[in-house]
């Protein structure tokens, strides 16, 4: 049975479930940062996903990327499946700006997360939820 990895669970807040993925907000106000986790047990690599679910995943990556573009108007969107630290397959979708803390470098492992306060977090989750459910 699918169970969300504890570290991902600790570092994020839930936005919603799509057809395949759990959509999570990374608790780091340095970047608008979404994590998509396919709700399938034992997956570690993108190319191991069965074809049908892979098609669903790409639809959901597109949806999350479009939401990021619409809500945050970033300079670029970083999409990545890494899995070096947490092996449970998950896809990062990160909105990047030229004045963000690690631009133009990567976001992973560079600086401690800066947690959201409650209002920021609830507003963001509401906006992202509405955009994802109404697209």
Which member of 85, 114, 115, 120 binds a second copy (CB under 8 A)? 85
Least distance between a second copy and beta carbon 92 (Å):
8
**By CB under 8 A, residue 16 contacts a second copy:** no
Select from 28, 12, 123, 107 the least CA-distant residue to 71: 123
Our CB check for a second copy shows the closer of 25 and 89 to be 89
Which member of 80, 114, 120, 133 binds a second copy (CB under 8 A)? 80
Token duo for residue 15: 């936005």
Our CB check for a second copy shows the closer of 1 and 84 to be 84
Q: Label each residue of 97-115 as H, E or C.
A: CCCCCCCCCCCCCCCCCCC
Token duo for residue 9: 């669970």
Contacts with 89 (C-beta within 8 Å, 6 or more apart), sequence order: 37, 38, 40, 43, 44, 45, 46, 48, 49, 81, 83
Report which DSSP code applies to 87: -
Here's the x/- map for a second copy, 22-61, by CB under 8 A: it reads as ----------------------xxxx------x---x--x
For a second copy, the binding residues (CB under 8 A) are 44-47, 54, 58, 61-62, 65-66, 69, 75-85, 87, 96, 103-106, 108-109
């Amino acid at each position: 049975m699918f169970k969300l990895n504890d570290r991902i669970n600790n570092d994020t807040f839930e936005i919603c479930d799509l057809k395949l993925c759990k959509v999570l907000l990374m608790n780091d106000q340095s970047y608008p940062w979404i994590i998509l986790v396919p709700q399938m047990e034992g997956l570690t690599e993108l190319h191991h996903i069965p074809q049908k679910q892979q098609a669903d995943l790409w639809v959901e990556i597109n949806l999350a990327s479009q939401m990021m573009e619409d809500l945050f108007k970033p300079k670029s969107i970083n999409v990545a499946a890494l899995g070096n630290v947490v092996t449970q397959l998950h896809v990062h979708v990160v909105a990047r700006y030229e004045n963000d803390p690690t631009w133009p470098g990567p976001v992973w492992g560079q600086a401690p997360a800066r947690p959201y306060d409650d209002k920021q977090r609830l507003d963001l989750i509401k906006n992202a939820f509405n955009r994802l459910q109404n697209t």
